[in-house]
């Protein structure tokens, strides 16, 4: 097995906690050859479930001639081993080489010298559940491994074209779990007893499926089925080959195939067929947000995008996430224009299951691959739901009879100069356990957007999978149901509920109601940006003094305004808000967040630019002078103008000023346009520098000003300069050089501000969170500037910087009791 998780600071953190096995002081007996013999009881913890640890240890023990046994205890694996001291040490070393999976190897106690002497060889004992006071470690779903894929394509193999092929290294785990520990009886496979042949493989130490819990074959495994419209009906006895042919015909004819994948339903369409992609968008009600692609192979990914080595590792990792990668020029010619319009990146993923691989390799072209749902609703996972969606969401559905217990979307992440940023945390990630300060058993309900929940017990926290926006009733119901699933699996009853401070959050209202139920629970309000800060604190190795920059689009602040450009100084556990941008109004409240032109107007108003200049300068193809005049009235009369200092809104305003992005079609749309434009500016200026020419625009200089205890970032002079100096374009792709340089200068100014704060507070660690730091260009500019200053930029690789990570920070909020 190969564990190629590109480890970042988080992993180092865990490593530092890894307790060294204690050396025994006992007198060691010596065997006839004169080598000391030992017997030990060891406990293995970390991601020890569902990775084939027991058969692996058995194989090693046999090779080393050790006696003893190994047993899965749900949360941990226990093993007793006896034999020559060097061999026992060798076994431990081999275990430690698996560091990414086995975090902790603990010597529970030394056994009496003669122990296990009656035992012949090394045995795998049946699993036994163990009750511990912390949350249990759950096994992660793992994308199909290379060996299984080879067997799947080998006509001579017993599992040739068997869609549910898996082994000790791969296959579903968490998504089909009904109880702990991970064992066949505790999964959706419980009702599928292995056939005689599979039983033999299971019992054979030489077989690579020795003790593989989900061992199956076409005789005994789950069944594939298909559902089409009446005219493409599928007979009940259709073979997998028949069904794949149907699905292929559907895809090649421009149709949409619904597929039951590892942890939920997906929709697939040919990515080179514009009308198919448009139909998919129409059906999903997702007009412009970029769509991810399933590609047949790494080679295909490299054709469409620039795949760094780290990105390639993620693409092929067991987590098998969608990885955002810079598009190549060739991508535009190979893909339908509607796949990812006007964005610099493509989201790519490699097949997670044999079935996906089979389909996409047969098509031999990238497929659009997206969660089966209507936009803003949760991912479908029950057969009945996709069956009813045939004709509305998809044209043909490829299903199977394995029940999904923990539905999860595909995870999405970004690689940038060896740094990982997780944008959507779901399949492959949400089993991770985080160490938190011990305290009350706690439930955190997250925020209303990109909602996730988190649980903590006994110093261990888990963060649930991405759910979506809670305003959708179906998402709310899914959240409640999934929380019940988690609670049942973990035998979890909270004593405390942590919640965001926003009074309008549905999650907050829900938490308040929960806290008043039969047994009253403590309700802990955690301010939005402090929750972001704490999430990083839990997931990154940070020193005792550092500065935390929490920059996003909107979070309820202590002063009842909307924060989002916060700098907190953390010193020996004390968190102090030390800096933020100068605040500005949001004219028309929620409308201002949807319409960046209102922000451009508002910043101009706040910066003291005259009405006449504003009306003249900010008019565009879509925003009329009378609209501008009307919103100007709101500002003058201070009518429905909540106050904000959110950095994300500054990006919105600039996106309109430079590019005329008048509407945020999806979250972060305007800032992404600006980033795209600025990246092209960077390419230009590299070229200009090469030719010995200048061409830089002066950066957007945010000025430091002290107001009471707070440092205020005054953006007004810079805004005025840009307002009067900037040229204007209506397209990020074809913007004139001057606009691209200004977009770049804006990003540079924002990066300068971050490092100016680090300098001012004399810290060598900056903890970064909030959606703004998902900006690839901003990350690069920050990394470039931080290095010569010896400032370390810290953000977790496996916790989203957006509100998807909020619940983890909430759950880690110290228990005052």
Which residues of the chain form contacts with another protein (CB under 8 A)? 285, 374-377, 448-449, 470-474, 476-477, 479-480, 502-507, 509-510, 513-514, 552-554, 556, 562, 586-594, 626-627, 630-631, 633-634, 637, 639-640, 642, 648, 667, 771, 802-803
The residue within the footprint of Zn ion, chosen from 42, 87, 105, 167 (CB under 5 A), is 167
Closest approach of Cβ 409 to another protein, in Å? 17
47 binds, among Zn ion, another protein, none (CB under 5 to 8 A by kind): none
Kindly state whether residue 170 participates in binding Zn ion, applying the rule CB under 5 A: yes
Query: Residue 465: which of Zn ion, another protein, none does it interact with, CB under 5 to 8 A by kind?
Result: none
770 with 779: CB under 8 angstroms? no
Nearest approach, Cβ of residue 176 and Zn ion (Å): 16
The binder of 242, among another protein, Zn ion, none, by C-beta within 5 to 8 A per type, is none
Secondary element (H or E) of residue 716: helix 716-725
Distance CA 325, CA 790 (A): 28
C-beta of 501 vs 793, nearer to another protein: 501
C-alpha distances in angstroms, 281 versus 334, 524, 699? 19, 41, 39
Q: Which of 486, 479, 570, 483 is nearest to 532 (CA)?
A: 570
- Among 4-12, 170-178, 201-209, 507-515, the segment contacting Zn ion (CB under 5 A): 170-178
- Quick one: 514 or 569, whose CB is closer to another protein? 514
Minimum distance, C-beta of residue 470 to another protein, in the bound complex (Å): 7
Look up residue 630 and give its two tokens.
Answer: 């009307």
Subset of 175-234 contacting Zn ion (CB under 5 A)? 195, 198, 217, 219-220
Select from 491, 403, 510, 495 the least CA-distant residue to 451. Answer: 510
Q: Is 616 in a helix, a strand, or coil?
A: helix
Residue placing its CB nearer to another protein in the complex, 586 or 682: 586
Q: What would the two tokens of residue 517 be?
A: 């139920």
Half-sphere exposure of 720 (CA within 13 A, CB side): 10
Residue closer to another protein by CB (options 123, 594) is: 594
What gap in Å lies between CA 381 and CA 427, rounded to an integer? 13
Query: Locate tokens 């890894």: which residue?
Result: 18
Partner from another protein, Zn ion, none contacting 472, C-beta within 5 to 8 A by type: another protein
Strands (E), 292-418: 293-294, 322-326, 345-349, 367-371, 396-400, 412-416
Residue 220 touches which of another protein, Zn ion, none (Cβ within 5-8 Å per kind): Zn ion
Instruction: Compute the least distance from the CB of residue 50 to another protein, in Å.
Output: 31
Please, which residue, 88 or 647, has the CB nearer to another protein? 647
CB 580 within 8 A of CB 714: no
Question: Smallest distance, Å, CB 208 to Zn ion?
Answer: 8
In the list Zn ion, another protein, none, the entry touching 562 (Cβ below 5 to 8 angstroms by class) is another protein
525 is an interface residue for Zn ion by CB under 5 A: no
**Residue count, binding to Zn ion (CB under 5 A):** 10
- Interface mask (CB under 5 A) for Zn ion, residues 117-146, using x and -? ----------------------------x-
User: Which of another protein, Zn ion, none interacts with 513 (beta carbon under 5 to 8 A by kind)?
Assistant: another protein
From the number of C-beta atoms within 10 Å of its C-beta (0-12, 13-18, 19+), residue 724 rates as exposed
Q: Which is nearer to another protein, 512 or 689 (CB)?
A: 512
Tokens of 653: 């305003």
Binding partner selected for residue 377 from another protein, Zn ion, none, CB under the kind-specific 5 to 8 Å limit? another protein
Smaller CB separation from Zn ion, 428 or 796 = 428
- Provide the 10 A C-beta neighbour count for residue 659: 23
Contact 647, 552 (CB under 8 A): yes
355 lies in the site for Zn ion, by CB under 5 A: no
Side-chain-side CA neighbours of residue 785 (13 Å):
20
Residue whose C-alpha is closest to residue 83's, from 48, 111, 104, 51: 111
Alpha carbon distance 605, 697 (integer Å): 24
Question: Using CB under 5 A, which residues numbered 144 to 163 contact Zn ion?
Answer: 145, 148
Site for Zn ion, rule CB under 5 A:
145, 148, 167, 169-170, 195, 198, 217, 219-220
């Amino acid at each position: 097995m190969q564990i190629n998780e590109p480890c970042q600071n988080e992993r180092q953190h865990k490593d530092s906690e890894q307790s060294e096995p204690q050396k025994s002081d006992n007198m060691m007996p010596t065997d006839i050859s004169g080598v000391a013999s030992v017997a030990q009881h060891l406990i293995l913890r970390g991601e020890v479930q569902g990775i084939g640890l027991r058969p692996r240890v058995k194989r090693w023990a046999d090779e080393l001639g050790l006696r003893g046994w190994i047993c899965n205890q749900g949360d941990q694996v226990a093993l007793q081993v006896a034999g020559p001291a060097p061999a026992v040490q060798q076994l431990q070393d081999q275990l430690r080489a698996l560091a990414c999976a086995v975090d902790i190897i603990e010597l529970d106690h030394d056994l009496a010298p003669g122990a296990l002497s009656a035992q012949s060889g090394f045995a795998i004992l049946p699993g036994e559940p163990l009750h511990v006071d912390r949350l249990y470690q759950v096994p992660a779903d793992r994308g199909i491994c290379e060996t299984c894929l080879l067997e799947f394509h080998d006509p001579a193999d017993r599992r040739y074209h068997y869609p549910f092929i898996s082994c000790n290294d791969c296959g579903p785990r968490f998504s089909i779990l009904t109880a702990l520990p991970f064992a066949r009886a505790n999964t959706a496979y419980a009702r599928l007893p292995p056939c005689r042949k599979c039983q033999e493989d299971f019992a054979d130490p030489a077989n690579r499926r020795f003790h593989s819990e989900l061992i199956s074959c076409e005789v005994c495994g789950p069944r594939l089925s298909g559902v089409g419209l009446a005219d493409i009906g599928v007979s009940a006895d259709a073979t997998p080959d028949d069904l794949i042919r149907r699905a292929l015909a559907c895809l090649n004819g421009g149709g949409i195939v619904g597929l039951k994948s590892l942890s939920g339903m997906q929709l697939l369409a040919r990515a080179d067929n514009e009308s198919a992609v448009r139909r998919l968008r129409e059906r999903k009600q997702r007009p412009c947000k970029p769509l991810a692609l399933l590609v047949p192979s790494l080679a295909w990914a490299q054709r469409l995008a620039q795949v760094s080595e780290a990105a390639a590792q993620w693409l092929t990792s067991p987590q098998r996430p969608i990885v955002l990668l810079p598009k190549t020029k060739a991508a535009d010619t190979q893909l339908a224009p509607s796949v990812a319009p006007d964005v610099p990146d493509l989201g790519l993923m490699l097949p997670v299951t044999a079935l996906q691989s089979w389909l996409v390799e047969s098509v031999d072209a990238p497929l659009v691959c997206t969660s089966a749902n209507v936009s803003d609703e949760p991912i479908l996972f029950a057969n009945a739901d996709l069956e009813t969606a045939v004709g509305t969401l998809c044209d043909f559905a490829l299903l199977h009879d394995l029940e999904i217990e923990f539905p999860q979307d595909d995870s999405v992440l970004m690689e940038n100069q060896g740094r990982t940023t997780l944008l959507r945390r779901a399949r492959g990630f949400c089993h991770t356990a985080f160490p938190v300060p011990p305290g009350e058993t706690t439930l955190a309900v997250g925020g209303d957007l990109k909602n996730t929940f988190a649980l903590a017990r006994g110093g261990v926290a888990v963060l649930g999978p991405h759910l979506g926006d809670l305003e959708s009733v179906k998402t709310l119901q899914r959240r409640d149901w999934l929380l019940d699933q988690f609670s049942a699996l973990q035998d979890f009853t909270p004593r405390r509920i942590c919640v965001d401070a926003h009074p309008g959050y549905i999650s907050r209202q829900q938490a308040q109601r929960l806290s008043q139920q039969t047994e009253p629970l403590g309700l802990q309000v955690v301010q939005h940006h402090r929750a972001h800060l704490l999430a990083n604190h839990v997931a990154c190795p940070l020193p005792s003094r550092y500065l935390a920059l929490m920059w996003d689009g909107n979070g309820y602040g202590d002063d009842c305004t909307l924060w989002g450009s916060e700098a907190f100084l953390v010193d020996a556990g004390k968190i102090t808000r030390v800096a933020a941008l100068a605040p500005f109004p949001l004219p028309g409240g929620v409308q201002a967040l949807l319409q960046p032109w209102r922000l451009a107007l508002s910043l101009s108003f706040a910066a003291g630019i005259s009405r006449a200049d504003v009306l003249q300068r900010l008019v565009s193809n879509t925003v009329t002078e009378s609209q501008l005049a009307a919103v100007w009235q709101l500002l003058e009369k201070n009518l429905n103008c909540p106050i904000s200092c959110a950095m994300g809104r500054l990006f919105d305003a600039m996106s309109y000023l430079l590019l005329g992005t008048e509407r945020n079609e999806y979250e972060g749309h305007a800032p992404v346009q600006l980033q795209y434009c600025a990246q092209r500016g960077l390419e230009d200026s590299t070229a200009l520098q090469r030719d010995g020419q200048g061409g830089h625009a002066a950066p957007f200089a945010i000025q430091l000003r002290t107001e009471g205890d707070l440092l205020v970032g005054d953006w007004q002079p810079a805004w005025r300069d840009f307002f009067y100096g900037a040229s204007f374009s209506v397209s990020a792709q074809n913007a004139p050089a001057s606009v691209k340089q200004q977009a770049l200068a804006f990003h540079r100014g924002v990066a300068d501000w971050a490092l100016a704060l680090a300098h001012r507070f004399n810290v060598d660690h900056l903890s970064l969170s909030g959606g703004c730091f998902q900006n690839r260009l901003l990350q690069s500019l920050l990394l470039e500037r931080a290095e010569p200053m010896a400032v370390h930029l810290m953000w977790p690789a496996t916790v989203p910087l957006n509100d998807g990570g909020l619940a983890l920070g909430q759950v880690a909020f110290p228990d005052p009791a």
